[in-house]
Amino acid sequence: MLTRKNRRSQPSGVAVASTEVEYKREPADAPSARFGWHGEGLKTFKIAGWVSIVALLVMMIGNHEGHVEDLFLLGFALLLAFILIRGEILSRRKWAIKK
């Protein structure tokens, strides 16, 4: 919406929005700014990842005639486990390198 503050008029009399960037800090949009926390819930993400792996492996139990879906479930579980283990190794190495 154009206001008088950011309105420019062209020779034809049409109001055009300003191209200036407004820098505002909105603490209501970022409630974590009030108490200083800006991180991610890494522990929560790891727990959710391992719970997802268990859920994928439990879905393999059942009355399947074909086992193609079992291969996909196992593949996704292994991929997710690889991502979680790799992330853990890289995060530990990051702390070990700093002296």
Domain range annotation of the chain: 7-97
pLDDT attached to residue 91: 83
Q: Note down pLDDT in tens along the chain; length 99 residues.
A: 545 555 555 556 667 777 777 767 665 666 565 566 666 778 889 999 999 999 999 999 988 788 899 999 999 999 999 999 999 998 887 666 655
Quick one: tokens of 88? 């853990």
pLDDT at 96: 60
In order, the DSSP letters of 10-74 are -TTS-EEE--PPP----TTT-THHHHT-----HHHHHHHHHHHHHHHHHTT-S--SS-HHHHHHH
- Confidence (pLDDT) at 62: 85
Alpha-carbon distances, residue 46 vs 7, 17, 43, 51, 94 (angstroms): 49, 46, 5, 9, 18
